[in-house]
């Protein structure tokens, strides 16, 4: 569904999201809950059956970059939640890029998915890369 969306489609999606998502400080708790639920439902509609199953079980899903065919794991969250994986599935680094505005995790993850699947190079050109080791500390 997201393939071929391109940067114009991504811009339109983000614009549409900005119309339906109220800033956190200006809405009641029930409205915030409804906003988060709508964002989660929209995200799940855009996920493939395999991605949806993985997300529902582990709270992450994998996408393939449009330019390099690199695999990225998008974890539930809004910041530094993208993990780049090697061809063997090992952690390489983490990436952070988010759309403007106070969006819920579902909306942020959907924007990240679309960006990586349709315009990977541009998305990474504005992202912050973190090379923190994922291995356990030595005692």
User: Taking the complete model, does pTM exceed 0.85, yes or no?
Assistant: no
Question: Per-residue pLDDT averaged across 1-7, rounded?
Answer: 55
Average model confidence (pLDDT) across the chain:
84
Question: Per-residue pLDDT averaged across 12-27, rounded?
Answer: 54
The first and second tokens of residue 90, run together, are 């090992």
Question: Among 132, 136, 51, which Cα is nearest to 92's?
Answer: 132
- Confidence grade of residue 139 (pLDDT, cut at 50, 70, 90): very low
Minimum mean pLDDT among 10-19, 81-90, 107-116, 119-128: which range? 10-19
Chain-centre distance for alpha carbon 57: 17
Q: Helix (H, G, I), strand (E, B), or coil: what is residue 31?
A: helix
Question: In the predicted model, is pLDDT for residue 65 greater than 50?
Answer: yes
Residue 32: the pLDDT is 83
Question: In the predicted model, is pLDDT for residue 100 greater than 70?
Answer: yes
Question: In the predicted model, is pLDDT for residue 54 greater than 60?
Answer: yes
120 contacts 76 by C-beta, under 8 angstroms: no
- Confidence grade of residue 131 (pLDDT, cut at 50, 70, 90): confident
């Amino acid at each position: 569904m997201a393939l071929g969306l391109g940067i114009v489609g991504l811009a339109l999606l983000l614009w549409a999201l900005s119309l339906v998502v109220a800033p956190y400080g200006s809405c009641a708790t029930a409205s915030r809950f409804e906003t988060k639920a709508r964002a989660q439902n929209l995200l799940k509609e855009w996920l493939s059956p395999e991605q949806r199953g993985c997300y529902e079980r582990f709270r992450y899903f994998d996408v393939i970059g449009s330019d390099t065919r690199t695999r990225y794991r998008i974890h539930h969250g809004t910041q530094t939640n993208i993990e780049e994986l090697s061809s063997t599935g090992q952690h390489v680094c983490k990436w952070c890029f988010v759309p403007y505005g106070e969006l819920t995790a579902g909306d942020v993850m959907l924007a990240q998915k679309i960006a990586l699947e349709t315009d990977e190079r541009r998305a990474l050109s504005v992202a912050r890369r973190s090379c923190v080791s994922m291995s356990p500390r030595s005692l």
